[in-house]
Amino acid sequence: MTYLGSNSYLGLKVEAVENTPVIPNAFCPLISESIKTNINYTADRRMKGIDFKSDDLLPGNKMHEGDIVVYPDADNLGHFLNMLMEKGSTTGSATGYTHPFTFGTAKSYTIEIQKGPYAQRFYGVKAKQIQGIFEDQKLKLTISVKAVGQFSGGQLKAALSGSVTELKLSSAFTSSPNKGLVVGDTICLQLDSGSYQDIVLTSVNADLETVGFEALSITAAANNLIYLKAQTPSYTSLGGILTQGNTLVGVAATSALADTAAASKATATSMYDFSFTLNNNLFDAPSTGNNQGPVKLIEQVKEAQLSISRIFEDVSQHVSWLNSIKQALTMIITGNTISGGTTKESLTIKFHKVKPMTNDEPLEVDSIIFDRQEMEALYDSSDAESIEISLVNKTAGTSY
């Protein structure tokens, strides 16, 4: 058994039917992750004729949430955007697909994270927030996600002996213990001998507790352990990371002028620090119909913020802050040339209307003066949009 986090992986795949788990088949190298299931246990304080605080725990609302931190390549970036925003119609070909994203209804995902020998699978996953920042030249994303359910492990409900073709999972954690498993998964069952038997699933039954497989000779007692076996990830199609040095930022009075400014190094504005936050404020309250977690995730009010730093060259940004002047900002990050053609990978984010919330010009001895601004992205009625994103890569739109 390995305990080294470096051996772990992040797998993800869009769900064909929302909140219906699938087997992840796209893999993205992880920097870190902190997704967890919170069962909200509390001590049972009911009076039972004892003078100790409690004799048991009571479960509360189950929640599944946390952060994924990655340096994304252009292809995996499409999956993270697809969790947060709505993808429009993809155009192009294998030498360069263009995927447009706007705030709307995001797709749900199944994601899988290896923890030693087992995989923790979350399904019905959507992103609540994406934060992007350049760290040591590299674009680093922190994706805050929520899920409607998970499967990682459990226990055998009833003993098995001899040749068997199915087993039942214990419902101690949930009344739907096989939810999260998929035909083709491999689960590992603890045998009475102490070893574990790999079992490839051929069915996941509608009774929500039974799974089927080809006949195996098994001797296992009730309550023996079961876990989802980790996959072997593949990174053969992984692209390069996106960098600050290959980024151009245009700032102007209108979005069209900002696009023009971002089109060349000569007209772009040099940014020494640049970060953005996109948020759809997912609603994930518990309800009837699902005791694994929230029954569904719903996008609420959308918002976005920018944090920028540039050399103080004139008073324009100070005045823009004082007078709350509308600006537009376009950021274009260019990546590698896509195999088979001349098109380069790219990420374009257009903020149609931003205004500075704060403007600082701190002074330090022997240091350059910078405009440091926190900006709020606003809805622009003239464009009927707030933010538009365009991603160019080698991945077909059907993968998202």
For residues 65-88, one letter each, b for 16 or more C-beta atoms within 10 angstroms of the residue's C-beta and e for the rest, the string is bbbbebbbbbbbbbbbbbbbbbbe
Each residue of 328-374: pLDDT tens digit?
Answer: 999 999 999 999 999 999 999 999 999 998 988 888 888 888 888 99
pLDDT of residue 2: 61
| pLDDT interval class at 383 (50, 70, 90) | low
DSSP states of 291-349: SSS-S--B----EEEEEEEEE--SSHHHHHHHTT--EEEEEEEEEEEPTTSSPEEEEEE
Any idea which residue has 């992840």 for tokens? 24
Verdict on whether the full-model pTM lies above 0.85: yes
Each residue of 144-201: pLDDT tens digit?
Answer: 999 999 999 999 999 999 999 999 999 988 889 999 999 999 999 999 999 999 999 9
Any idea which residue has 């994924």 for tokens? 68
Q: Count CB atoms within 10 A of the CB of residue 50.
A: 8
Question: Does residue 321 surpass a pLDDT of 60?
Answer: yes
Q: Count CB atoms within 10 A of the CB of residue 187.
A: 24
136, 141, 144, 149: CA torsion to nearest 10: -120
Q: Which of 211, 208, 224, 225 is nearest to 199 (CA)?
A: 211
Each residue of 54-109: pLDDT tens digit?
Answer: 999 888 888 999 999 999 999 999 999 999 999 999 999 999 999 999 999 999 99
pLDDT of residue 288: 77
CA distance 169 to 171: 6
Please, are residues 346 and 243 in contact by the beta-carbon 8 Å criterion? no
